[in-house]
């Protein structure tokens, strides 16, 4: 994978350090650039090798930031960032993980008390020193002290697969509150990002206090963090839930605003300004008749606010699906009428990567097939692990095992209307070889998934060629979870998504979006690179039990984040279409 995330992290750190020292405007500029660098489908280090002008082609990256990126790629450091670190030598990420402590608070506490680390912060709070700093007080000090234990335990963001079910429960509860007229999730959760910070929920009501009180009194709430007429924050099963309440007439504008992303909203606001309009959380306003001295969020003629569709229409655009709102060209596509017709969960007709008790799954072939049929699938591929490096060796299948399994699958086929493909998941070794299964067995199988399981972090270097060699293997049909990442547990293997996608398209090999919430691999920007290259996507669950077929929604929404349409997805085809792809 590229160094985009690494560079983005540095830009975000620089923004925090500037904000901590009360620098205006520049922090937001750097944060926007960081988000665009992180999501850029190409490798930022390759652009840096071409020069500052190439880096500046990334949206939101100006000449000054491009210069810093090139400096870092070439030298391993940024002189101005090092100077800011020296001026404010704090562990910014650690300190700001405490609820209510932002960069400006960090800067003030460092200046007044020399607080540099979470331990320093805790010591100062316990000693009663924070309350003596101007602008703070005993309540703030206690809130900081109360938040430190949780900050120590929750440095990492929550998995989408953990947060989404909790959010659905919150929505169901609030929908049953009499005072609630409309309710939906917002933020990164509504955009289906792989990890989220807080569960953001937006409700429409004429009685915000009653809604906040109802949530605070819900039996599932572990702790009430804040309660008011327009915002209530609680913890549900350890997950922070932030509820905002708006009047129904402004629900659409608020939903658009609080869904984000920030970069998407900035571009939308900038485009609106060019039209003489203002877009904010209260609506879209025509400013043509507004005097310069007039101020206020609702100044101007209100054009739209009730629904998101009306908000986008007021600025001359069709509604943009939340998954696309990542500032990767969606506004230009919308303006040109080129938004994709995104794949939907109901488009997926089968699963091409699953496991049974023959390797490390929980069910027999027959029971897994029955579960797939009950779920609504038309077909299923049993692709148990072959033995080899990175696999639970004692459960991996040998050539003989695979031939024996073929007989079992044939018997299952006789007893079900479900089309059952016989496949295998083989390991991609460090050199890109598909090991542990002989070529004649691979040739006899319906489908071969090749996945990296070992050597994922070798030298921390680019492993694009390794994956390209795998997709070019004559018997490989699908490259499974290409980066090998486990979110919050193991980083993604480094490779160039665009180069891999081009090779996969040329070879006729599908690239997997693994729907397991711990993987979601490929991810949005990498899927977009694949779609643009003409590669085929396979949205699979890697199911080890029938209940895991439900994870397909996470894979589909991840594919949607990459602009994938049903025509891009292999298992949106019927069984005959899949077989045609495999035979081609």
Distance CA 334, CA 168 (A): 29
In sequence order, what DSSP letters do the residues of 444-464 get, joined into one string? HSSEEEEE--S-TTGGG---H
CA angle 390, 365, 476 (to 5 degrees): 45
pLDDT attached to residue 506 = 98
Contacts of 206 by beta carbon, 8 Å cutoff, 6+ apart: 179, 181, 247, 248
Q: Which of 184, 78, 461 is nearest to 66 (CA)?
A: 78
The β-bridge partners of 239 are 236
Nearby residues of 332 by Cβ (< 8 Å), 6 or more positions away: none
Q: Is-contact 306 248, C-beta < 8 A?
A: yes
pTM for the whole thing? 0.75
Bridge partners for 414 per DSSP: none
DSSP helix/strand/coil, 236: strand
What pLDDT tens digit does each residue of the chain (584 aa) get?
Answer: 357 777 888 999 999 999 999 888 889 899 888 877 876 767 888 899 999 999 998 878 999 999 999 999 999 899 999 999 999 999 888 898 787 889 999 999 999 999 999 999 999 999 999 999 988 999 999 989 988 886 775 565 788 998 999 999 999 999 999 999 999 999 999 999 999 989 999 999 999 999 999 999 999 998 999 999 999 999 987 789 999 999 999 999 999 999 999 999 999 999 999 999 999 999 999 988 887 766 778 889 999 999 999 999 999 999 999 999 999 999 999 999 999 999 999 999 999 999 999 998 889 999 999 999 999 999 999 999 998 765 554 578 999 999 999 999 999 999 999 999 999 999 999 889 998 899 999 999 999 999 998 877 644 457 899 999 999 999 999 999 999 988 766 778 889 999 999 999 999 999 999 999 989 999 999 999 999 999 999 999 999 989 899 999 999 999 999 999 999 999 999 999 999 999 98
245 contacts 208 by C-beta, under 8 angstroms: yes
Question: Which residues have a Cβ under 8 Å from the Cβ of 321 and sit 6 or more positions away?
Answer: 339, 342, 560
Beta carbons of 233 and 299 less than 8 angstroms apart? no
Instruction: Return all residues near 451 (Cβ < 8 A) that are at least 6 apart.
Output: 425, 426, 427, 428, 479, 480, 481, 482, 484, 512
| Residue (of 466, 468, 474, 476) closest to 502 by Cα position | 468
Residue pair 421/381 in contact by the 8 Å Cβ criterion: yes
Euclidean distance between CA atoms 197 and 97, whole angstroms:
10
User: What per-residue confidence (pLDDT) applies to 486?
Assistant: 83
Phi, psi dihedrals of residue 547, rounded to the nearest 5°: -65, -25
Q: Is 513 exposed, middle or buried (0-12, 13-18, 19+ CB in 10 A)?
A: buried
The pLDDT value recorded for residue 173 is 97
Cβ atoms within 10 Å of 293's Cβ, excluding its own = 5
- pLDDT score, position 390: 55
Q: How does DSSP assign 274-300, residue by residue?
A: HTTEEEETTEEEE-TT--TT--STT-S
- Note the pLDDT of residue 161: 92
Helix (H) or strand (E) holding 125: helix 118-126
Residues 66, 10: Cα–Cα separation, whole Å? 13
Helix (H, G, I), strand (E, B) or coil at 354: strand
Cα(139)–Cα(130) distance, integer angstroms: 10
419 secondary structure, DSSP code: E
pLDDT computed for residue 459 by the predictor? 44
User: What does the pLDDT read at residue 150?
Assistant: 65
What is the rounded CA–CA span in Å between residue 90 and residue 92? 5
Pairing of strands 478-479, 379-385: unpaired
Residue 341, number of CB atoms within 10 A of its CB: 8
Cis status, amide bond into 162, omega within 30 of 0: no
User: What pLDDT score does 153 carry?
Assistant: 58
pLDDT of residue 490: 72
pLDDT value of residue 71: 94
Tell me which residue of 399, 418, 404 sits closest to 354, measured CA to CA: 418
Domains in the chain with CATH codes: 4-153 (1.10.150.110), 158-246 (3.30.460.10), 260-335 (3.30.210.10), 345-583 (3.20.20.140)
């Amino acid at each position: 994978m590229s160094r985009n995330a690494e560079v983005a992290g540095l830009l975000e750190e620089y923004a925090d350090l500037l904000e901590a020292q009360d620098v205006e405007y520049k922090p937001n500029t750097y944060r926007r650039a960081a988000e665009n660098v992180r999501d850029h489908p190409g490798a930022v280090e390759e652009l840096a090798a071409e020069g500052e002008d190439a880096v500046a082609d990334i949206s939101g990256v100006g000449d000054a930031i491009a210069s810093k990126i090139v400096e870092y790629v070439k030298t391993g450091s940024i002189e101005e960032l090092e100077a800011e670190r020296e001026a404010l030598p704090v562990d910014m990420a650690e300190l700001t993980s405490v609820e209510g402590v932002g960069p400006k608070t960090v800067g003030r506490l460092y200046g007044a008390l020399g607080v540099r680390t979470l331990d320093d912060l805790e010591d100062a709070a316990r000693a009663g020193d924070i309350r003596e700093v101007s602008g703070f007080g005993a309540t703030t000090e206690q809130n900081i002290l109360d938040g430190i234990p949780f900050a120590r335990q929750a440095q990492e963001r929550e998995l989408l697969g953990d947060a989404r079910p909790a959010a659905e429960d919150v929505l169901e509860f609030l929908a049953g509150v009499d005072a609630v007229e409309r309710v939906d999730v917002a933020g990164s959760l509504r955009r289906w990002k792989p990890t989220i910070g807080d569960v953001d929920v937006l409700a429409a009501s004429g009685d915000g206090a009653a809604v906040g009180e109802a949530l605070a009194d819900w039996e599932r709430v572990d702790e009430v963090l804040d309660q008011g007429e327009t915002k209530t924050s609680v913890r549900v099963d350890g997950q922070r839930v932030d509820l905002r309440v708006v009047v129904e007439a402004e629900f659409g504008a608020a939903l658009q605003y609080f869904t984000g992303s920030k970069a998407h909203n900035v571009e939308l606001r900038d485009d609106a300004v060019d039209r003489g309009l203002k877009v904010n959380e209260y609506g879209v306003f025509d400013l043509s008749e507004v005097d310069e001295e007039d101020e206020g969020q609702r100044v101007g003629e209100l054009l739209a606010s009730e629904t998101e569709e009306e908000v986008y229409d007021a600025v001359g655009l069709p509604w943009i699906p939340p998954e696309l709102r990542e500032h990767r060209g969606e506004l230009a596509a919308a303006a040109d009428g080129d938004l994709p017709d995104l794949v939907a969960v109901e488009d997926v007709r089968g699963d091409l990567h699953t496991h049974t008790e023959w390797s490390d799954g929980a069910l027999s072939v027959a029971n897994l097939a029955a579960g797939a049929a009950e779920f609504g699938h038309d077909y299923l591929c049993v692709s148990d692990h072959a033995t080899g490096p990175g696999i639970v060796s004692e459960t991996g299948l040998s050539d003989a095992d695979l031939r024996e399994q073929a007989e079992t699958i044939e018997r299952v086929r006789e007893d079900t209307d479900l089309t059952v493909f016989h496949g295998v998941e083989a390991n991609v070794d460090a050199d890109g070889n598909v090991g542990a299964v002989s070529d004649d067995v691979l040739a006899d199988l319906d489908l071969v998934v090749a996945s990296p399981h070992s050597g994922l972090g070798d030298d921390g270097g680019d492993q694009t060629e390794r994956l390209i060699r795998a997709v070019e293997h004559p018997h490989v049909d699908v490259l499974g979870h290409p980066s090998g990442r486990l979110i919050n547990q193991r980083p993604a293997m480094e490779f160039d998504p665009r180069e891999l996608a081009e090779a996969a398209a040329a070879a006729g090999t599908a690239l997997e979006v693994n729907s397991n919430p711990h993987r979601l691999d490929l991810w949005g920007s990498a899927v977009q690179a694949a779609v643009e290259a003409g590669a085929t996507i396979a949205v699979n669950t890697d199911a080890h039990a029938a209940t895991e077929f439900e994870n397909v929604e996470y894979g589909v929404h991840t594919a949607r984040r990459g602009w994938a349409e049903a025509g891009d997805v292999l298992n949106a085809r019927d069984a005959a279409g899949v077989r045609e792809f495999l035979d081609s």
